[in-house]
Amino acid sequence: MRCAGPAGTARTLRFETANLKYLRTRTRVKLVQLVDANDVNLDGSLDFTPPFDRPYDWTKAGRKDLFSYLVTPQGLAEVSTYADGIGPWKRYIVSTKGTDADGDGQADDVNGDGVVDEADRTLLPPTSVVEDAHRLGLFVHTWTFRNEQRRLPADYKGNPVNEYQQFYGLGVDGVFSDFPDTARAARILFLISENPDYAKCLVGANAHVGHGKHQLRCKGLGWDD
Ligand SMILES: [Ca+2]
Ligand SMILES: [Ca+2]
């Protein structure tokens, strides 16, 4: 995974919690608590089949909370004591549901291409994870974004840029993408849609846009360049 975060910022990413707590005492590098799950169910709830049920150090210690605990207000508060950011799988922010018209308990091939994949699923309303994390001062980096048609829920209409636009609109601070060029192009489109003056940034490095408190810095466009 490649991180498209603020320019020049080192990141240490961990699925476990104990080593992050240790690192907190040893380094000033930004620490990110990753939050995994095994899969997403037909109805959009997340599946926590082991070993993707909880941080490994919790399993070893006998702690029963699932990964999902880490994105509850209590879990985020705990994370904020030892990390700078949270890295939830994107389905914690926007999940998807399948269709089971034939009632066999399995998702159907809605688009009729002979396979059942993410392109047959539709989006559910966003959760409050980004907002809740920001309230506690945690940044949010989510993953993994990809271009393949089979990985894009039907709502994105086959255009990966639509997925980034949704997550940028929800306020995520960074994304991990297998296609960083797409992530960046989508970021530029998003920034221009928020403020057309950002287009100036494309033609003059380090230009300043706007005036006074509305002045915006172009540098990096908030990206890893
Ligand atoms: Ca079915
Ligand atoms: Ca299909």
pLDDT over threshold 50, residue 145:
yes
Q: Tell me the ligand closest to 102's alpha carbon.
A: 1
Q: Tell me the ligand closest to 120's alpha carbon.
A: 2
Q: What is the pTM of this model?
A: 0.86
46-85 tens-digit pLDDT: 999 999 999 999 999 999 999 999 999 999 999 999 999 9
Q: Tell me the ligand closest to 112's alpha carbon.
A: 2
Q: Which residues surround ligand 2, an ion (CB under 5 A)?
A: 109, 111, 113, 120
Average model confidence (pLDDT) for the chain?
88
Rg (CA), the chain: 19
Q: What is the dihedral of CA 87, 88, 93, 97, to 10 degrees?
A: 150
86-105 tens-digit pLDDT: 999 999 999 999 999 999 99
pLDDT band at 10 (very low <50, low <70, confident <90, very high): low
CA 187 to ligand 2 center in whole angstroms:
29
pLDDT given for residue 7 in this prediction: 38
**Is residue 44 helix, strand or coil?**
coil
Q: Tell me the ligand closest to 106's alpha carbon.
A: 1
